[in-house]
Amino acid sequence: MQILDQNTPLKGIIPPMVTPFDTEGRVDIQGVEKLVEHLISGGVHGIFILGTTGEFSSLDIAQKKELIAATCKFVDGRIPVLVGVTDVCLKGCIALSKFAESSGAYAVVAAPPYYMGIDQEELCLFYGQLADNIPLPLFLYNMPSHTKVSIDVQTAVALSKHRNIIGLKDSSANGSYFQSLQYCFRDQPDFVLMVGPEEMLAETVLMGGYGGVCGGANLFPRLYVKLYQAANDNNIVEIIRLQKLVMSISQKIYQHGGYKSSYLKGLKTALSFLGIIQAQFAPPLFPYDPNEEEELKVRFSKIASMILE
């Protein structure tokens, strides 16, 4: 059962859910259920699985299908489930989209294919072919730091004309780019523009953005829901208060250890402190060593006490 008509624009906080693993590298189904309940009880407006935060590029197809099926089962129609289907192979994107539809997902999300060097015309063709051949609505996913291909503003405008392409998630952390998107889509209120970096959530919502795909909402979903609501209500005093907490997470949790993967290491390890998942990762990522983990626990405890007081 779909709880949201796909003709109604999706708004709010859509956490990019981490993928729980056990010590053997298998998808931790119990962890998936606990995390889903944690997110829904925190008031989030949807869940996005198999994105960058979900380590999609390190999962095989069987693991992806297992996660899709389990997530949709545990959500049980209470909020929309968005499924990442990014692949370098068009047929792979299509096949996973069909599986997501059969499992009960609301929409799919796809970043540009990330191996071949392509231009904007080829990117338009790829997305058009994908949208033509899948049973669910499609969100574009701009992630140039990882794909090495940026979805130009005019490319997004052209693709928005396709009846099956309903929005764009931008993780470029480029404020000027997102403002240009918002300006160009000012007369298309049904096209959903979501920001990825949570540090930019409030400012983009204030300027008309639809919400955020905030990694920290895995940890503290209510914090990000409150920040979204404050921005939506133009409550500047509350925005300033909550933004300080969001920035504390960004500075103290996501940058611990000096790894290129510190964001994900910090996020999943902090979730393990809450007893929701295990601090396990898909290769090539690996857990913190015991000293690093203990240092993070001290940082996390201080932040959690401020947020949960």
Q: Other CB atoms closer than 10 Å to residue 299's CB: what's the count?
A: 17
What pLDDT, on a 0 to 100 scale, did the predictor assign at position 5? 60
Catalytic residue among 127, 141, 224, 228: 141
- Which of the four pLDDT bands, split at 50, 70 and 90, describes residue 124? very high
- Residue 141: active-site member: yes
Q: Which residue has the higher pLDDT, 66 or 1?
A: 66
If you average pLDDT over residues 269-289, what whole number do you get? 96
Global pTM value: 0.94
Q: Does residue 145 have a pLDDT over 60?
A: yes
Q: Which residue has the higher pLDDT, 249 or 144?
A: 249
Cis peptide leading into residue 284 (ω within 30°): yes
Structure tokens belonging to residue 261: 């993967």
At 303 the three-state DSSP class reads helix
DSSP type of residue 197: -
What pLDDT, on a 0 to 100 scale, did the predictor assign at position 258? 86
At 99 the three-state DSSP class reads helix
What pLDDT, on a 0 to 100 scale, did the predictor assign at position 309? 67
Main-chain dihedrals φ then ψ at residue 10, nearest 5 degrees:
-80, 130
- Which of the four pLDDT bands, split at 50, 70 and 90, describes residue 6? low
Read off the pLDDT of residues 80-92 as tens digits, 9 standing for 90 and up. 999 999 999 999 9
Catalytic residue among 34, 64, 169, 226: 169
What pLDDT, on a 0 to 100 scale, did the predictor assign at position 3? 47
What pLDDT, on a 0 to 100 scale, did the predictor assign at position 2? 41
What pLDDT, on a 0 to 100 scale, did the predictor assign at position 147? 84
Read off the pLDDT of residues 208-260 as tens digits, 9 standing for 90 and up. 999 999 999 999 999 999 999 999 999 999 999 999 999 999 999 999 988 99
